[in-house]
Structure 1
């Protein structure tokens, strides 16, 4: 089931008290409307009753969509640098919920789930969108690396990220956007031919080393490649 709990916050604009329900877990099989809210960038929105300022509670919940084979530990964007520690925590939680430490019935569900760890709303939304589009998220991260090598300039900096956000229906190309993680403000859009996905998909040997680095844990995101040495291939703890 999807679980919520009451939280008391201060408005970021006027510091008036704001009460709302914060999600602890989302079961998209039973509450598909919550999945829709995430995709529409309106989940966990709040408005200050005193000044009317709108803001969004940062994600900190577990997401399950057994029908689409997804289990995600969604964390606040400011925890990004703790990704190695949080990968271990996510793997442990999955193990007791749907992996080797879970009851037999839950393990059956877990066999069909892909485990992921995300930071911030744009990242968790992207994972849902990619599964809807039936795209391999590892290949999409490799597309981003290719984009970085191909463009003359890129607004790459801490707090700025590149996300696949849509599909151009007229051209069939993938729409990527540079955006600010905290504010979710879009900075710049790029249309990338869908052929790039096919080229990378059809060249597994050429991309094997990068895939290996991206798949060292449930945090599958090119940002991990820029944050120190990281976890060595084969050293990760396997969920389940």
Structure 2
């Protein structure tokens, strides 16, 4: 089931106290409306009763969509540098819920789930969109790496990320955007031909080493390739 609990917040504009129901877990099989809210960038939005300021509670919940084969530990963007520690925590939770330490019925569900760890709303939304479009999220991350090598100017900085935001069926391509993680403000858009996805998909040998690094852990995101040595292959 999807679980919520009350949390006390402070309005970022007027500093008035605000109470809202924060999600602890989302079961998209039973509550598909919550999945829709994430995809529409409105999940966990809050409005201050005193000044009318709208703001969004950062993600910190577990997401299950057994029908689409997804399990996600969604964490706040501010925890990105703790990704190795949080991967371990996510794996322990998954193992006890759907993995080796879970009851047989739960293990049966878990056998078809791809477990992921994300940071910030744009990242968890992207994982849902990738699955909706029938894409391999590892190849999507490889596309981003190719984009970084190919474009003339890259607005890369801490707090700026590149995300797949929609498909462009008319152009047979995918729309990527540079955005600010904290504000979720979009800075630049670009449409990348779907041929790039197909070219990477058709060259598993050439991309094998990168795939192995991206798939090493629940945090399947190109950002981890720029954050130190990372997790050792095991």
Same fold (TM over 0.5): yes
Q: TM-score, normalised on structure 1?
A: 0.97
Cα distance in 1 for residues equivalent to 2:47 and 2:80: 26
Cα distance in 2 for residues equivalent to 1:184 and 1:84: 24
Q: TM-score, normalised on structure 2?
A: 0.99
Deviations along 1:175-221, one digit per CA (max 9) or x if unpaired, are 00000000000000010000000000000010011111111100000
Cα distance in 1 for residues equivalent to 2:142 and 2:172: 19
Which residue does 1:135 correspond to in 2? 135
Q: Does 1:99 align with 2:103?
A: no
Worse-superposed segment, 91-100 or 166-175:
166-175
Cα distance in 2 for residues equivalent to 1:214 and 1:112: 20
Q: Which structure 2 residues correspond to residues 104-183 of structure 1 after superposition, within 5 A? A: 104-183=104-183
Deviations along 1:148-190, one digit per CA (max 9) or x if unpaired, are 0000101011100000000113112100000000000000001
CA contact (8 A) 1:213 1:232 kept: no
Unaligned runs of 5+ in 1: 235-240
Q: Relative contact order (C-alpha < 8 Å, sep 6+): which is higher?
A: 1
Unaligned runs of 5+ in 2: none
RMSD of the TM alignment (CA)? 0.5
Deviations along 1:105-145, one digit per CA (max 9) or x if unpaired, are 00000001000000000000000000000100000000000
Q: Which structure 2 residues correspond to residues 1-240 of structure 1 after superposition, within 5 A? A: 1-234=1-234
Cα distance in 2 for residues equivalent to 1:218 and 1:201: 21
Cα distance in 2 for residues equivalent to 1:109 and 1:43: 26
Cα distance in 1 for residues equivalent to 2:140 and 2:233: 20
Cα distance in 1 for residues equivalent to 2:168 and 2:71: 27
Corresponding residue pairs, total: 234
Runs (4+) of structure 1 exceeding 4 A deviation are none
